[in-house]
């Protein structure tokens, strides 16, 4: 085997290994293990356990909901008029959704922000998943780019994939709503799931919540570099003024976030520490060392002239354009598959915007977690037009004063 052939096989092998381990993480291994033959010997190693997980025969029924042409032709997409909602899955449980795939053909340049994905479990009236479809799949700036991770991928051309296991006991309903003013002429979808006789009691329900702050409001604009003493010495121990990804009540665990940043100021957009508050803490029990560190990179991802996009199974910055300049754009993700952030009563996931919240960039995020129901009410989605990324005049270092067409 050539080195190229060997390297090409690695991502698929690691992904299969991940899917087996993630299924066990969520408790889904019990579905197959309870039906396994008593004559099968105990696995001798972790690798054997993964192999047996994939090889275990089950009585589950594999199903799919898709946009295929019901008349047998090749018109395999649905249209969504402005203000219209299309149901892409409506099924009874118990079962588990294993894969979402969408692709969209639209003349609306903002369709990744105007098409909103929602999911409802067991007949609930408010969604457990609510996000613009682009943001849900990690495209938080309304632009397409390719990347591969363990839970989300964007493949050629404009193919959106999600691999979060989404269990449901009574029913599952997934919808897409066109909140824009342009007709979506072609929405293609495949929703893969399987039904089971029963689910383990300790499975949580999948949740995904979109938030944005445009712009974040820095505590000062009187700075040029992150390392200036009056910026470097800002103290922030309790997270006051931090950007909030999500707040949840109940029992569950956080499995990750996506974050998109549009820079309204020059310089490195990071230095902000993640601060995670578990079960009502006043001070965070999980406190990080900087934005690039939270996303498991380092040193500004290479800086203004050397930043290199990257995407790995659990972490990435797959989209970096004009790094460290006004108008610079970056998309990030971090999956906590290695150590989900568990909570028994509540969770508040936050991050500073610049050290001590000194910066005033624009943030667009989605947080992903599992928890018991009912869940806390989600904040209302921002108006459609405010979701479109644009620059804001915020003061501080940058070149906005030279672009008078920008609105304050």
pLDDT in tens, 283-340: 999 999 999 999 999 999 999 888 999 999 999 999 999 999 999 999 999 999 999 9
**Which distant-in-sequence residues (6+ apart) come within 8 Å of 357 by Cβ?**
216, 218, 219, 234, 236, 240, 241, 242, 272
Q: Which two tokens stand for residue 270?
A: 């990071």
User: Are residue 134 and residue 260 in the same domain, yes or no?
Assistant: no
β-pair type (129-132, 205-213): parallel
In a domain, 75, yes or no: yes
User: Can you give the length of the chain in residues?
Assistant: 408
pLDDT tens string 117-141: 999 999 999 999 999 999 999 999 9
- Mean pLDDT of all residues in the chain? 88
More confidently predicted of 225 and 116: 116
142 and 78 co-located in one domain: yes
Across the range 39-58, mean pLDDT stands at 71
What pLDDT score does 22 carry?
45
Q: pLDDT at residue 16 above 80?
A: no
Contacts of 292 (CB under 8 A, 6+ apart): 270, 298, 299, 300, 301, 317
Residue with tokens 């018109």: 75
Is 314 contained in some domain?
A: yes
Nearest-angstrom CA–CA distance, 154 and 371: 26
Higher-scoring residue by pLDDT: 180, 30: 180
**Domain at 388, CATH number:** 2.60.120.1390
Cis (ω within 30 of 0) for the bond into 215?
yes
The pLDDT of residue 10 is 37
Q: Report residue 42's pLDDT band, with 50, 70 and 90 as the boundaries.
A: low
- Of the candidates 175, 90, 190, 83, which has an alpha carbon nearest to the alpha carbon of residue 128? 175
pLDDT at 23 over 80: no
pLDDT-derived band of residue 223, with 50, 70 and 90 as boundaries? Answer: confident
Per the domain annotation, does 407 fall within a domain?
no
10-14, 44-48, 54-58, 158-162: which range is least confident on average? 10-14
SS3 85: strand
Asked, for residue 21, whether it belongs to a domain, the answer is yes
Residue 7 has pLDDT above 60, yes or no: no
* Domain extent at residue 124: 61-195
**Do 18 and 82 belong together in one domain?**
no
Tell me the C-alpha distance between 26 and 166, whole Å.
10
Mean pLDDT of 370-389: 96
Same domain, 248 and 320: yes
Tokens 């649905």 correspond to: 78
Closest CA to 132 of 123, 141, 124: 141
pLDDT of residue 40: 53
50 and 87 fall within a common domain: no
Q: Kindly tell me if the per-residue pLDDT of 25 is higher than 80.
A: no
**In a shared domain, residues 146 and 232:** no
Residue 250 lies in a domain: yes
Ranking 8-17, 153-162, 358-367 by mean pLDDT, the lowest is 8-17
Distance CA 323, CA 262 (A): 10
Domain-ending residue, one of 195, 219, 254 = 195
SS3 call for 265? coil
- Calculate what percentage of the chain has a pLDDT beyond 70: 86
Q: Both 51 and 66 in a single domain?
A: no
Q: Does residue 347 lie in a domain region?
A: yes
pLDDT value, residue 12? 34
Residue 408 domain-assigned?
Answer: no
Residues 88 and 225 in one domain: no
The answer to whether residues 47 and 123 belong to one domain is: no
Does 200 reside within a domain?
no
Backbone angles phi, psi at 23, to 5 degrees: -60, -40
Residue 115: phi and psi, rounded to 5, are -90, 120
pLDDT at residue 399, as a whole number? 58
- Both 94 and 120 in a single domain? yes
Number of domains in the chain: 3
Going by C-alpha positions, the residue among 181, 177, 182 that lies closest to residue 107 is 182
Same domain, 180 and 149: yes
Q: Is the pLDDT of residue 45 over 70?
A: no
Q: Are residues 47 and 141 in the same domain?
A: no
Q: Which of 45-59, 65-79, 281-295, 375-389 has the lowest mean pLDDT?
A: 45-59
Out of 13-22, 49-58, 271-280, least confident range: 13-22
Cis peptide before 187 (omega within 30 of 0): no
Of 231, 308, 293, the closest CA to residue 267 belongs to 231
Q: Is the pLDDT of residue 219 over 90?
A: yes
What element of type H or E holds 23? helix 3-25
Share of the chain above pLDDT 90, in %: 77
Contact indicator for 394, 403 with CB cutoff of 8 Å: no
Query: N- to C-terminal Cα distance for the chain?
Result: 59
Lowest mean pLDDT among 230-234, 238-242, 258-262: 230-234
95 φ, ψ to 5°?
-170, 180
pLDDT for 60-98, tens place per residue? Answer: 999 999 999 999 999 999 999 999 999 999 999 899 999
> Residue 258 pLDDT more than 50?
yes
Give the residue from 137, 161, 195 where a domain finishes: 195
Least reliable range by pLDDT among 109-118, 229-238, 292-301:
229-238
């Amino acid at each position: 085997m050539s080195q190229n052939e060997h390297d090409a096989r690695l991502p698929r092998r690691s992904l299969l290994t991940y899917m087996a381990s993630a299924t066990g993480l969520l408790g889904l291994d019990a579905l197959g293990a309870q039906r396994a033959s008593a004559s099968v010997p105990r696995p001798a190693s972790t690798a054997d356990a993964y192999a047996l997980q994939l090889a275990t025969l089950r009585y589950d029924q594999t199903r799919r909901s898709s946009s295929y042409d019901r008349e047998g032709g090749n018109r395999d997409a649905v249209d969504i008029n402005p203000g219209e909602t299309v149901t892409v899955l409506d099924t009874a449980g118990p079962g588990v959704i294993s894969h979402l795939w969408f692709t969209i053909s639209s003349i609306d340049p903002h369709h990744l922000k105007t098409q909103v994905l929602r999911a409802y479990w067991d007949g609930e009236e408010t969604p457990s998943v609510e996000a613009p479809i682009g943001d849900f799949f990690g495209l938080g700036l309304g632009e397409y780019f390719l990347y591969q991770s363990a839970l989300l991928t964007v493949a050629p051309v404009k193919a959106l994939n999600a691999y979060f296991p989404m269990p449901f006991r009574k029913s599952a309903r997934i919808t897409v709503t066109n909140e824009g003013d342009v007709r979506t002429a072609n929405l293609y979808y495949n929703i893969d799931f399987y039904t089971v006789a029963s689910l383990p009691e300790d499975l949580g329900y999948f949740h995904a919540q979109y938030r944005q702050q445009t712009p974040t409001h820095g505590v000062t604009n009187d700075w040029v570099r992150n390392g200036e003493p009056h910026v470097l010495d800002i103290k922030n121990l309790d997270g006051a003024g931090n950007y909030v990804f999500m707040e949840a009540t109940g029992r569950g665990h956080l499995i990750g976030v996506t974050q998109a940043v549009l820079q309204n100021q020059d310089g490195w957009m990071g230095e902000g520490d993640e601060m995670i508050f578990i079960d009502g803490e006043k001070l965070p029990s999980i406190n990080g060392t900087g934005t690039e560190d939270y996303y498991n990179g380092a040193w500004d991802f290479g800086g203004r002239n050397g930043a290199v996009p990257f995407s790995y199974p659990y972490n990435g910055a797959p989209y970096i354009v004009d790094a460290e300049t006004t108008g610079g754009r970056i998309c990030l993700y971090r999956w906590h598959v290695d150590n989900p952030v568990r909570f028994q009563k509540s969770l508040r996931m936050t991050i500073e915007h610049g050290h001590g919240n000194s910066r005033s960039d624009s943030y667009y995020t989605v947080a992903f977690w599992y928890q018991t129901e009912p869940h806390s009410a989600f904040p209302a989605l921002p108006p459609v037009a405010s979701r479109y990324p644009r620059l804001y005049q915020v003061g501080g270092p940058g070149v906005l004063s030279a672009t008078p067409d920008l609105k304050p």
